[in-house]
Amino acid sequence: MGIAIACIGSGNMGFALMKGAGAVKETDIGLADADRAKAKAAAKELGAALYKSNAEAAARGDYVFLAVKPQALSGVLAEIAPALRERLAAGKPPVLVSMAAGWPIEKIQAAVSGSGASAAPVVRIMPNTPALISRGMIALAASPEVPAEKIEELDKILSGAGMVERVAESYMDAVTGLSGSGPAFVYLFIEALADGGVKAGLPRDKALRFAAQTVLGSAAMVQETGRHPGELKDMVCSPGGTTIAGLAALENGAFRGAVMNAVEAAWRRSTELG
C-alpha cells in the first residue's frame, strides 16, 4: 500500500484534488461525507474507497483532507478529534490538510489535540475551482510539526490539480480573496466581455468563445513573457485607437478600483470566517 489519503467532504474542491492527486493510486484514496450518497458517487467515479464515517477517515489516512465549508469544520473536528488524539499519543499522527477559509492552523490544532497533548501536524491550503481541470492555483502553509519530507510529498500530491505555491500562513486570507474567490470575478468579466460583443453585433456563442480565449491567452502572456501587465497593455494601445478608447471607458467606470474592492471584500470575509 502506498500513501493513504482520506478526504472528508466530496464537493467540487475535494473531488478535484482527489482526482488530480499525483503519486497516489486511486485505491489508496478514501472519501467520507455527511451526504453518503454524494460520497458514494464520487468514490465510484474516482475508483476510491468509501469510509463509513469521518472518524474512520481520520483513523486511516496518512493525509486527512478537510474539504468542508468553514461553517462545518468545527463539527467535523469534534467528530475526528478522538481518533486523531489516539494517533498522536501513538506517535503516528496523520497530516491534516485544511482548505477551510479563515481557519488558522492554531485554531485547528487546539480543536483536535486536547490540553497537554502534542500539536497535530496541520497544513492549510487554498485551492480554486480551476483545479477541476488541473489548472488550479493552490497556496500552501504548514505548521512546524509537519516534516519537510511530508510537505514535499504533499506538494507532489497537489501538483496534479495545478500550480502549488508555498506561502506564509499570514498571507492565506489575502490568497483566499485573490485566487480563491478570483475565478468568480474572472467569470463575471468574461461574461461582461461577451455581452459587449453581443451588444456590438456578434452572435452569443461566438462572443463567448472570443471572450474566453482572449482572457486565457492574455493570462498566458503574463505568465510566459514575465512582463508586467501594464507593459503588455501598452503594447495593445495605439495612439487614438480603439483600445485606448475602451480603456478610458473602463477607467471612467472605476474598473480597477472595483476589482480591488472585490478582492478586499473577499479577504475581509475570510478573516471573519475564522
Average pLDDT of the segment spanning 250-268: 97
Residue from 99, 189, 173, 106 nearest 138 by CA: 99
pLDDT of residue 9: 95
pLDDT of residue 117: 65
pLDDT of residue 115: 63
For residue 56, pLDDT beyond 70: yes
What percent of the chain has pLDDT above 70?
Answer: 99
What percent of the chain has pLDDT above 90?
Answer: 92
Average pLDDT of the chain, as a whole number: 94
pLDDT digits 0-9 by tens, 57-110: 999 999 999 999 999 999 999 999 999 999 999 999 999 999 999 999 999 999
For residue 1, pLDDT beyond 60: no
Confidence of residue 26 (pLDDT cuts 50, 70, 90): confident
Q: How many beta carbons lie within 10 A of that of residue 51, not counting itself?
A: 23
pLDDT of residue 225: 97
pLDDT of residue 122: 97
pLDDT of residue 217: 98
Domains of the chain: 5-173 (3.40.50.720), 182-273 (1.10.3730.10)
pLDDT of residue 210: 98
Cβ within 8 Å of residue 104, ≥6 positions away:
124, 169, 274
pLDDT digits 0-9 by tens, 138-195: 999 999 999 999 999 999 999 999 999 999 999 999 999 999 999 999 999 999 999 9
Q: Of 12-21, 167-176, 196-205, which range is least confident?
A: 12-21
Q: Which three cell numbers stand for residue 27?
A: 485505491
